[in-house]
Structure 1
Amino acid sequence: MMKWKCVFFLLVIYMVYLVFGAFFFSYVEQPHEDQLREKVLNMWDDFLEIHPCLSEEKLEDFLRTALLVKSFGVSVLRNISFFEVKWDFVSSLFFAGTTLTTIGYGHPFPISLSGKVFCVFYCLFGIPFTLSLLSIVAQKWTILLRDIPLRYCHRRWNTLNNKTLEWIHAIVVISFMCLLCFFIPAILFNSLEENWGYADALYFCFISLSTVGLGDYVPGEQSGQRLPALYKLLVIGYLLLGLVCVFLMVEILKNLLKHNQILSLFLLGNEDGRQDEEIDRVAPNDSEVPFAPRNDETTRRRVTHSVSPNEKSYGSINPSSS
């Protein structure tokens, strides 16, 4: 009953958070939208005044068609040295990578009916496979970057409290991951993209690795980009590596905050919660064991009676607690 109350409480908080975000975006963005609309209308009037022989309907039809073609990724400018191909192999690989990782910049997107149908079935099997693969890699990295270092630190500095040691480790690893995934790549994108400031590049990194992918900033789309094929391949590698790092940070937070009842509703799945409850009923004092994986029930059951009560065992129930 208590968990249902917590779920209802979280739903209320989420609705308030959603309404607050809508109010703030409307308050901040609408004045800029009005300014741009007024600027475009003034340009429209000035252009028709300079060219009175031009039909307003013809001009409107031309602009509508040009904007539609531009949304498909095809340039309508004639004074460019070459036409940029949006569906060559590397660009298609970039589209496939950003689609399967659910980033989905929306630039470009399939135009033909066969491409749209294929995209549906391609994503139907590809997205679960991609996310599962990234999650598995992140779990392996968790062993290397969390479990092994914590065991070593506990043996080296066993006077520190286990929770304190976990918090210090989490702060260090997450800070390093943020530096590696957001702040350093933002410097590179700032130097490679002409029209991106550092804040724009940092915004792009966060929007991409959070899989929001608004598409307002897409790397490698400016004219005259040097080595565009290699650049897009490197961006794909950055996105995959960055998503693994994000998954890793989530895993670290899950292990760090799993004992908090409210936060565990966000960070732990139902299966993990049921396993935790079952383990707690079997071994209520097992929380004293440092850095033992709570969801590894098979490891916990392999406890021999010959273990000395004074020994602390990682990944198993402490015999002294029984």
Structure 2
Amino acid sequence: MVSHRPLFFLLLMLSYVMYLVIGAYIFSNLEQPQEVNLREKVENLWSKFLASHRCLSEELLEDFLRSALLVRSSGVSVMRNISGLEVKWDFISSLFFTGTTLTTIGYGHPFPISMSGKIFCLFYSIIGIPFTLSFLTIAARNLLFLLRDKPVHVLHLKCNFARNKLEWIHAGVLISVLALLFFFIPAVIFYFLEENWDYVDALYFCFISLSTIGLGDYVPGDQGGQRMTALYKILVICYLLIGLVAVFLGVEILKSLLNYNQFLNLFLFGCDDSRRAEEMECDPTYDSELPFVPKHDEKTRRRLPHSASPTEKSYGSINPSFS
């Protein structure tokens, strides 16, 4: 029988490419007009500045702005009136960097600028990223047992609801609570703590961070003059780690409800062979040294040697009690 999985995989690949193309088209139409407007504003500011400062060379101004933007991209402010205590690579800022890097959020602000820092970041991340993802996965599965499996089991014993329906209701309630605790309520907090963020920006930051996209356009604690910045960044790191566990928990719940593994098997070429091998390994009646003997196959039993079935009576010899 010809497998349809290669065709399913081809359809999946085409669907993903189409999804990328549609997203690129929508983003291009939404963002390009804003980019054109900003570019026109910069051109106007540039022309007005040069017109009011005729003694200033345009080449020197370009060199200065290029250097200033390069320094700013490294996380160092070019403003001269900032406090000298605002260092981007102190211990707390470095802890914030390691947390966002190992969770693969990676805001990109700041980033290592020294050669030794870049080399250390490579080796540190090679070990740290799998370690972090494993820790988050294990924590999420433990919470899955405590927050879903045990409550659903208790409710199933006490109520007359079908287990499948009970799992869907419990999942809806639990995911709603997680969304409230780790998206909507933190967005309100960030809205009040960050001066230039509105609520949509704060909610956008929460989703971009906990989905590990980490675009870096919004970074908490990055504004100058904020109070208790060190404590604030530590609390943000705690929020990101706990929030990622909550996201992993929600993903595990949805995967179990939607039979994600069965859906995934539709696109895997070697699914039948791997599943057959797993069934043979897990089958307690399978023995590589003895032939497989069905329990109710009497003819097969009679063909077995006495050593293979010591408890069976010998029907091929004369019973001494009747001799």
Fold match by TM threshold 0.5? yes
Q: State how far apart, in whole Å, the 1-side matches of 2:283 and 2:236 are.
A: 41
Q: Secondary structure at the match of 2:113?
A: coil
Aligned positions of 1:83-162 closer than 5 A? 84-157=86-159, 159-162=160-163
- Structure 1: gaps of 5 or more residues: 283-296, 300-322
Per the TM alignment, residue 82 of structure 1 is displaced from its structure 2 partner at its CA by: 3.3
Amino acid at match of 1:3: R
1:170 and 1:270 map into 2 onto residues whose CA distance is: 32
Q: Give the 3 Å change call, closer, same or farther, for CA 64–107 of structure 1 in structure 2.
A: same
CA pair 274-252 structure 1, distance change in 2 beyond 3 A: farther
Equivalences for residues 278-289 of structure 1 within 5 A: none
- Tell me how far apart the structure 1 counterparts of residues 149 and 274 of structure 2 sit (CA, whole Å): 19
Cα 1:260–1:108, aligned 2, differ >3 Å: closer, same or farther?
Answer: closer
1:143-172 per-residue CA deviation (whole Å, 9 max, x = no partner) reads 001110110111011x32222111111111
What is the rounded CA distance, in whole Å, between the counterparts of 2:103 and 2:83 in structure 1? 34
- Greater relative CO (CA pairs within 8 A, separation 6+): 2
The equivalent of 2:170 in structure 1 is: 169
Amino acid at match of 1:17: Y
CA distance in 1, matches of 2:275, 2:175: 28
Equivalent residue letter for 2:194: E
Q: Deviations over 1:222-262 (max 9, x none)?
A: 01111000000000000000000011011111111117843
Q: Distance in 2 between matches of 1:108 and 1:270?
A: 43
The letter for the 2-side match of 1:86 is K
1:185 corresponds in structure 2 to: 186
Please give the alpha-carbon distance, in whole angstroms, between the structure 2 residues aligned to 1:229 and 1:152: 44
For residues 31-67 of structure 1, give each alpha carbon's deviation from its aligned partner in whole angstroms, at most 9, with x where no partner exists. 1000000100000000000000100001110000010
The aligned counterpart of 1:218 is: 219
Q: Secondary structure at the match of 1:212?
A: coil
Deviations 1:64-123 (A, max 9, x none): 001001111111111234352000000000000000000000000000000000000000
Map of 2:38 onto structure 1 = 36
* Residue in 1 that maps onto 2:305: none
Report which of the two structures shows the higher radius of gyration computed on alpha carbons.
2
RMSD: 2.6
On the 8 A contact 2:6/2:269 being kept in 1, the answer is no
Aligned residues: 282
Secondary structure, in 3 states, of the residue corresponding to 2:213? coil
Amino acid at match of 1:6: F
Contact 2:140–2:245 (Cα < 8 Å) also in 1: yes
Q: Distance in 1 between matches of 2:5 and 2:59?
A: 61
Aligned to 1:68: 70
Q: Distance in 1 between matches of 2:110 and 2:140?
A: 29
Say if 2:242 is the partner of 1:241: yes
* % identical equivalent positions: 61
Secondary structure of 1:199's partner?
A: helix
Partner of 2:50: 48
TM-score, normalisation: structure 1: 0.82
TM-score by length of 2: 0.81
